[in-house]
Amino acid sequence: MTVFTHPEFDNHEHLSFYCDPDTGLRAIIAVHNTSRGPALGGCRMFPYASDEEALRDALRLSRGMTYKSALAGLNLGGGKSVIIGDPREHKSEALLEAMGRFINQLGGLYIAAEDSGTSVADLKVMGRQTAHVAGIAERLGFDGRPSTGDPSPATAYGTFVGLQAAVRHKLGRSDLEGVKVAIQGIGNVGYRLARHLKEAGAKLWVYDLHQDQMERAVDELGATAASADEILNLPVDVVAPCAMGAVLNDDSICRLQAPIVAGAANNQLASPRHDNALWNRGILYAPDFVINAGGIIDVYYERQGPDPQAVRRHVEAIGNTLDEIFARSANEGLPTGVIANQLAEERFKHTAR
């Protein structure tokens, strides 16, 4: 296994490996960049087929967090941790506490949040051993309602604001009345996004793997049910991927009919070149790591002290960041993902704490 010559290595500041034979914990923490602040990022638990696969994920995802937080204007760096193991089989309180001790050894350089394979309850167990966990406190949400720490409402609201910015830029519309939106994935984020859109007068098409999720949107929000095959290809104004990654690929991009892609799912582009493919087709893509930053903004404010109005204002600034990205993309003739990366680098490469 290589590190400094690894394809995903990008001058990461710190990399730690940890093994606790008593609990079976094997984990990696990757800290990509802390020029803007401590590295906050999810702790993922997954049955990686090899150490190499786990390292790759830790390097790649920690770098992504640096870009996401910089673009969200947060004083945070980028980090990620991975636990090698099947969360359904290998997770135990003792293992999670051992992970807490591992995180604590870094003295606050890295702050863990929930991710796939870990829950808020798991983070609370880690929190018995370290103060460096986030997204676990019950507090007032950005909408003034009590929140358990679930970042989905803030993510959905940020995606809604970002979608409005995309519609303004591409369609020259300042409202969403009658704007047609197809949402793939009606889960925690997708359903809430659908509700915001409905309230703003948009017309909705939905698809979810789970029939009951889809029916809820049809019954409660008057959405039209679509099939798995058609949801990304409908003649709508906006396609909003809110399920899984890699949905923007060679196959789907040539069949898209919508002029805008703006949704919350992480890692929507199957590869970086698909940013260019969308650009070449004249489709406006709201980079996922910009539009879905509401969750990390929400988690950040948990550490600053509760201030629902400040969270709301900060989430709404996602629209301004996208305005800037869309304008620069048009002026410079470069895809939006390229511009978003450049803007992030301007923000974290020239910041000395």
Q: Which residues are catalytic?
A: 80
Closer residue to ligand NAD (CB): 94 or 120: 120
| DSSP conformation letters of 185-238 | --SHHHHHHHHHHHHTT-EEEEE-SSHHHHHHHHHHH-PEE--TTTTTTSS-SE
* Residue 114, beta-bridge partner list: 43
Minimum separation from the CB atom of position 209 to ligand NAD (A) = 4
Phi-psi region of 109 (alpha: psi -120 to 50; beta: other; left: phi over 0): alpha
Does 236 participate in binding ligand NAD (rule CB under 6 A)? no
Cβ count within 10 A of residue 211: 9
Minimum separation from the CB atom of position 10 to ligand NAD (A) = 21
Minimum separation from the CB atom of position 219 to ligand NAD (A) = 16
- Choice from 128, 210, 281, 313 touching ligand NAD (CB under 6 A): 210
The answer to whether the beta carbons of residues 189 and 156 sit under 8 Å apart is yes
Between residue 285 and residue 314, which ones bind ligand NAD under the rule CB under 6 A?
A: 292, 295
- Choice from 65, 83, 186, 258 touching ligand NAD (CB under 6 A): 186
| DSSP conformation letters of 241-295 | E-S-S--BSHHHHHH---SEE----SS-BSSTHHHHHHHHTT-EE--HHHHTTHH
Does 243 participate in binding ligand NAD (rule CB under 6 A)? yes
- Choice from 24, 47, 187, 259 touching ligand NAD (CB under 6 A): 187
Q: With CB under 6 A as the contact rule, which of the stretches 79-87, 124-132, 136-144, 178-186 interacts with ligand NAD?
A: 178-186
Q: How far, CA to CA in Å, does 188 sit from each of 55, 145, 261?
A: 29, 16, 19
Q: With CB under 6 A as the contact rule, which of the stretches 12-20, 58-66, 160-168, 179-187 interacts with ligand NAD?
A: 179-187
**Which residue's Cβ has the minimum distance to ligand NAD?**
187
The answer to whether the beta carbons of residues 45 and 24 sit under 8 Å apart is no
Does 207 participate in binding ligand NAD (rule CB under 6 A)? yes
Phi-psi region of 102 (alpha: psi -120 to 50; beta: other; left: phi over 0): alpha
- Choice from 234, 242, 262, 284 touching ligand NAD (CB under 6 A): 242
Tokens of 159: 């995606």
CA distance 284 to 298: 27
- Choice from 23, 119, 233, 266 touching ligand NAD (CB under 6 A): 266
- End-to-end alpha carbon distance in the chain: 33
Between residue 124 and residue 163, which ones bind ligand NAD under the rule CB under 6 A?
A: 151-152, 155
> Which residue, 188, 155, 160, 192, is CA-closest to 299?
155
- Choice from 184, 252, 321, 329 touching ligand NAD (CB under 6 A): 184
- Choice from 104, 188, 224, 342 touching ligand NAD (CB under 6 A): 188
Does 351 participate in binding ligand NAD (rule CB under 6 A)? no
Taken in order 219, 223, 224, 228, is the CA torsion positive or negative?
negative
Closer residue to ligand NAD (CB): 106 or 181: 181
Q: With CB under 6 A as the contact rule, which of the stretches 52-60, 205-213, 250-258, 338-346 interacts with ligand NAD?
A: 205-213
Minimum separation from the CB atom of position 40 to ligand NAD (A) = 13
Tokens of 107: 């003295």
Total chain residues near ligand NAD (CB under 6 A): 23
Q: Which residues bind ligand NAD (CB under 6 A)?
A: 151-152, 155, 184-190, 207-210, 213, 242-244, 264-266, 292, 295
